[in-house]
Structure 1
Amino acid sequence: MTRHLKRREPRAHWLLLALFLTVALAGLCLNGYVEHVGAEGSGPHPVADDRPAADEVIEGGPVQRPAADGTVTTSAMPAKTIALTFDDGPDPQWTPKILDVLARHDAAGTFFVVGAQVNRHPELARRIVDAGSEVAVHTFTHVDLSSTPAWQRSVELNLTGNAVAAATGVRATLMRPPYSATPDAVTAAAYDAMRQAADEGYLTVLTDLDTRDWARPGVEQIVAAATPEAGAGAVVMMHDSGGDRSQTVAALDVLIPRLQEQGYRFTTVSQALELPAAPPAEAGLRLRGHALRWAQVGSGWLAGAMTWLMLAAVVLALLRLIVQVWCARVHVRRVRKAARRRKRYVGTVSVIVPAYNEAANIEATVRSLLANDYPNVEVIVVDDGSSDGTAEIVRRLRLPNVYVVEQENAGKPTALNTGVMFARGDILVMVDGDTVFEPDAIGELVQPLADPAVGAVSGNTKVANRGGLLGRWQHLEYVIGFNLDRRMFDILQCMPTVPGAIGAFRREAVVDVGGVSTQTLAEDTDFTMAIIRAGWRVVYAPDAIAWTEAPASLRQLWRQRYRWCYGTMQAMWKHRRAVVESGASGRLGRRGLAYLTMFQVLLPLAAPMVDIYGVYGAIFLPPLQTAAVWLGFTALQALTAAYALRLDGERYGPIWSLPLQQIVYRQLMYLVVIQSTVMALIGDRLRWHRMVRTGAATAHARTHA
Structure 2
Amino acid sequence: MISIVVPAHNESSVIGRTLNQWIADPASDGISAVVVCNGCTDDTAMVARTFGPTVEVVETEIASKTHALNLGDQISGTFPRFYVDADIVISADAIRALAKRLERGDVLAVAPMADIDLAGCSWLIRKYYDIRARLPSSREGIGGSGVYALSEAGRRRFGPFPDVVADDTFVRLQFKPSERATLPDVVSKVFPPRTVPQLIAVRTRAHRGTFELARRFPELSTNNGESNNRSLVTLLAEPRLWLGLMIYCSINFVARRRATRSARDGAPRWQRDETSRAVPSADSAK
Q: What is aligned with 1:688?
A: 270
CA drift at 1:515: 2.9
**Distance between the aligned counterparts of 1:476 and 1:701, measured in 2?**
27
Q: Which residue, out of 228, 238, 247, partners 1:633?
A: 238
Whole-angstrom distance in 1 between the partners of 2:93 and 2:267: 40
Mapping for residues 584-663 of structure 1, pairs under 5 Å: 586=222, 588=223, 592=224, 595-596=226-227, 599=229, 632-635=237-240, 658=241, 660-663=243-246
**Aligned position for 2:175:** 532
Aligned mates of 2:82, 2:132 — CA distance in 1: 21
Does the aligned pair in 1 maintain the 2:127–2:244 contact within 8 Å?
yes
Question: Structure 2 residue aligned with 1:389, among 40, 43, 46?
Answer: 43
- Give the whole-Å Cα distance in 2 for the aligned partners of 1:498 and 1:442: 17
For the residue of structure 1 that corresponds to 2:281, the secondary structure is helix
1:434 aligns to what? 87
Q: Which residue of the other structure, out of 162, 168, 174, is the alignment partner of 1:517?
A: 162
Q: Secondary structure at the match of 1:436?
A: coil
- The residue identity in structure 1 corresponding to 2:250 is Q
Match for residue 210 of structure 2?
A: 568
Task: Name the amino acid aligned to 1:558.
Answer: I
C-alpha separation in 2, matches of 1:677 and 1:688: 14
Of 370, 374, 379, the residue aligned with 2:33 is 379
Residues 408/477 of structure 1: CA separation in 2 closer, same or farther (3 Å cut): farther
Contiguous gaps of at least 5 residues in structure 1: 1-347, 487-494, 580-585, 608-629, 636-657
Matches within 5 A, 1:411-422: 411-422=64-75
Amino acid paired to 1:576: P
Q: Which residue of 2 aligns with 1:469?
A: 123
CA contact (8 A) 1:457 1:498 kept: no
Q: How many Å separate the matches in 1 of 2:151 and 2:85?
A: 18
Task: Name the SS for the 2:175 alignment partner.
Answer: helix
8 Å CA contact 1:441, 1:543 repeated in 2: no
1:67 corresponding residue in structure 2: none
Query: Is structure 2 residue 90 aligned with structure 1 residue 508?
Result: no
Larger Rg belongs to? 1
Contact persistence 2:6–2:86 (CA under 8 A): yes
Paired residues for 1:126-137 under 5 Å: none
Alignment partner of 1:352 is 2:5: yes
Q: How does 1:203-222 map to 2 (within 5 A)?
A: none
SS state at 1:514 partner: coil
Write the letter of the residue equivalent to 1:545.
V
1:442 and 1:528 map into 2 onto residues whose CA distance is 18
> Where is the helix percentage greater, Structure 1 or Structure 2?
1
Residues of 1 paired with 2:62 and 2:254: CA distance?
A: 31
In structure 2, relative to structure 1, the CA distance for the partners of 1:631 and 1:689 (3 Å cut) is closer
> Deviations for 1:429-458, whole angstroms, at most 9, x for unmatched residues?
111111111352102222221132422112
Which residue of structure 2 aligns with residue 145 of structure 1?
A: none
Q: Residues 75-86 of structure 1: matches in 2 within 5 Å?
A: none
Tell me the CA shift for residue 547 of structure 1: 1.1
Once residues 144 and 34 of structure 2 are traced to their aligned partners in structure 1, the CA distance between those partners, rounded to angstroms, is: 18
| SS of alignment partner, residue 541 of structure 1 | strand
Deviation at 1:678, TM superposition (A): 4.8
- 1:529-563 per-residue CA deviation (whole Å, 9 max, x = no partner) reads 1x327x98111112221112211222211111000
Relative distance call for 1:666 and 1:382 in structure 2 (3 A) is: same
Give the letter aligned to residue 212 of structure 2: Q
Q: Please give the alpha-carbon distance, in whole angstroms, between the structure 2 residues aligned to 1:474 and 1:484.
A: 12
Give CA deviations for 1:100-137 in whole Å, capped at 9, x if unaligned: xxxxxxxxxxxxxxxxxxxxxxxxxxxxxxxxxxxxxx
Indicate yes or no: 2:253 matched with 1:670: yes
Are the structure 2 counterparts of residues 675 and 437 from structure 1 closer, same or farther at C-alpha, using a change threshold of 3 Å? same
1:121 match: none
8 Å CA contact retained: 2:203, 2:252: yes
Gap regions ≥5 residues in structure 2: none
Q: Against the structure 1 CA distance between its residues 633 and 687, is the aligned structure 2 distance closer, same or farther, given a 3 Å change threshold?
A: same
> 3-state DSSP class of the match of 2:12?
coil
Q: Secondary structure at the match of 2:77?
A: coil
Q: Specify the SS of the correspondent of 2:63.
A: coil
Letter in 1 for 2:229: F
Aligned-pair CA distance for 1:524:
0.9
SS at match of 1:512: coil
| TM-score normalised over the length of structure 2 | 0.84
Letter in 1 for 2:81: L
1:83-162 to structure 2, matched below 5 A, reads none
The answer as to whether partners of 2:138 and 2:144 remain within 8 angstroms in 1 is: no
Read off the aligned partner of 2:196 and give its amino acid letter.
L
Give the 3 Å change call, closer, same or farther, for CA 368–677 of structure 1 in structure 2. same
- Letter matched to residue 27 of structure 2: D
1:42-57 correspondence to structure 2 within 5 Å: none
Number of the residue aligned with 1:405: 58
Q: Is the 8 A contact 1:562 1:676 kept in 2?
A: yes
Cα pair distance change 1:434/1:634, threshold 3 Å = same
SS at 2:114 equivalent: strand
How far does residue 401 in structure 1 lie from its aligned partner after superposition?
A: 0.8
In structure 1, distance between residues paired with 2:236 and 2:146: 35
CA distance in 1, matches of 2:154, 2:127: 35
Q: Percent identity?
A: 23
Q: Take 2:191 and 2:76, find their aligned partners in 1: how far apart are those partners? A: 26
Q: Are the aligned partners of 2:145 and 2:188 in contact in 1 as well (CA < 8 Å)?
A: no
Question: SS of 1:480's equivalent?
Answer: coil
| Deviation sequence 1:11-51 (CA, Å, 0-9, x none) | xxxxxxxxxxxxxxxxxxxxxxxxxxxxxxxxxxxxxxxxx
**Which residue is 1:312 aligned to?**
none
Out of 102, 112, 120, which is 1:459 matched to? 112
Instruction: Between the two structures, name the one with larger relative contact order (CA 8 Å, sep ≥ 6).
Output: 2
Task: Tell me the residue number matched to 2:201.
Answer: 559
CA drift of 1:375 comes to 3.6
Q: What code does the residue aligned with 1:410 have? A: A
Q: Which amino acid counterpart does residue 546 of structure 1 have in structure 2?
A: S
Distance 1:578 1:562, change over 3 A: closer
Match of 1:303 in 2: none
